[in-house]
């Protein structure tokens, strides 16, 4: 039975259709370093293969979803209101995303602000706003919010 490293290399060779296999060793090296940044969730063979395929691209795109700016206290969501600032989840992930951007300077990293949660009546009730107001607060980033993200880590916001 092949060890994990060999399985990942084999999958990447197949992805390249055995063309440009000279890229594999570099991708495996970068994959090891990125895994160290990402933590435990990336240690599975399935995730390693996904990340390896992403690294085979010239300019990979990494999309990091973020919840709306729910109220929070001491690093935990309280869901009492909905703000216009940088969401807690995005704040937590910004340093990690900055590390990835530093390591993969050609990567396009996008923070995608979710607005589908506006369709959840319970969440609207919890934060005390109407469906319409919730969607307006959580839809595409305002120029002010985009400016806040750029100042924080220099990442693109959708």
Task: List, for residues 73-118, the tens digit of each pLDDT value.
Answer: 998 889 888 887 778 887 777 778 888 888 888 888 877 777 778 8
Predicted confidence (pLDDT) per residue in 61-73, tens digit: 888 887 888 888 9
Instruction: Clarify whether residues 111 and 146 are in a common domain.
Output: yes
Same-domain check for residues 51 and 64: no
Same domain, 23 and 51: yes
- Count of structural domains, the chain: 2
Task: Report CA Rg, the chain.
Answer: 19
Shared domain for 100 and 40, answered yes or no, is: no
Are 87 and 40 members of one domain?
Answer: no
Q: Are residues 96 and 141 in the same domain?
A: yes
- Are 79 and 146 in the same domain? yes
Residue entry with tokens 């999309």: 63
Co-location of 77 and 126 in the same domain: yes
Q: Could you tell me the residue range of the domain that residue 31 belongs to? A: 1-57
Do 53 and 1 fall within a single domain?
A: yes
pTM, 2 dp:
0.65
115 φψ region: left (φ > 0), alpha (ψ -120 to 50), beta (else): alpha
Distances (CA, A) of 20 to 25, 27, 57, 59, 106: 11, 12, 12, 17, 19
Q: Do 45 and 67 belong together in one domain?
A: no
Instruction: Select from 82, 74, 79 the least CA-distant residue to 145.
Output: 82
Express each pLDDT in 24-62 by its tens digit: 788 888 888 888 877 776 778 788 888 888 887 778 888
Query: What does the chain look like in DSSP terms, one character per residue?
Result: ---HHHHHHHHHHHHTTTSSTTHHHHHHHHHHHHHHHH-GGGGSHHHHHHHHHHHTSSS-EEEEEE---EEEETTEEEEEEE-SS--HHHHHHHHHHHHHHHH-TT-EEEEEE--GGGG-HHHHHHHT--HHHHHHHHSS--HHHHHHHHHHH--EE-
Does one domain contain both 10 and 87? no
pLDDT score of 55: 81
Chain centre distance of CA 7: 25
- What the block records as the tokens of 156 is 């693109």
Q: Which residue among 57, 73, 90 closes a domain?
A: 57
- Same domain (yes/no): 139, 125: yes
The domain boundary residue, chosen from 57, 84, 99: 57
């Amino acid at each position: 039975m092949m060890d994990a490293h060999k399985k990942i290399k084999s999958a990447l060779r197949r992805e390249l259709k055995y063309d440009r296999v000279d890229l594999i060793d570099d991708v495996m090296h970068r994959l090891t370093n990125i895994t160290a940044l990402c933590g435990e969730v990336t240690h599975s063979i399935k995730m390693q293969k996904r990340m390896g395929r992403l690294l085979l691209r010239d300019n990979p795109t990494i999309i990091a979803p973020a919840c709306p700016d729910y109220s929070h206290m001491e690093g935990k969501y309280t869901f009492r209101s909905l703000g216009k600032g940088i969401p807690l989840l995005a704040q937590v992930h910004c340093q990690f995303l900055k590390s990835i951007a530093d390591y993969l300077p050609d990567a396009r990293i996008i923070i995608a602000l979710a607005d589908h949660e506006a369709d959840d009546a319970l969440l609207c009730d919890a934060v005390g706003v109407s469906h319409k107001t919730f969607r307006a607060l959580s839809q595409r980033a305002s120029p002010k919010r985009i400016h806040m993200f750029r100042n924080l880590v220099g990442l693109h916001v959708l």
